[in-house]
Amino acid sequence: MIHKLLVEFLGTLFLTFIVLATRGNWLAIGGALAVGVLLGGRISGAAYNPAIAIAYFAAGKIASTEMVAYIVAEIAGALAALQLVRLIRL
């Protein structure tokens, strides 16, 4: 379980960092998402978004406790990305 949460945290951090750092460059975002799915898809399903985690739960692919853990890891990853972008832009 810890491996799945680490993948969700790092994948969300990477994707959110790219979104914020490139200010919405669709090609960079698509590339980042593709890399994240290729690297983390087999481990965690590569949700990288709380809405996708909820959809996985609704489809019966993950348990409710796992869904909550995914959402917490994804929010933490997004907040870490925000802090990283703020640190770099100083």
Angle at 19 between CA 71 and CA 3, to 5 degrees: 35
Which CATH number is 13's domain given?
A: 1.20.1080.10
d(CA 23, CA 45): 26
Chain segment 20-72, per-residue pLDDT in tens: 999 989 999 999 999 999 999 999 999 999 999 999 999 999 999 999 999 99
Range of the domain at 43: 2-88
Number of separate domains in the chain: 1
In 10 A of CB 78, how many CB atoms? 21
The answer to whether 46 and 60 are in contact (CB under 8 A) is: no
pTM: 0.91
Q: Which pLDDT band holds residue 90 (cuts at 50, 70, 90)? A: low
Q: Among candidates 51, 87, 90, which has minimal Cα distance to 70?
A: 51
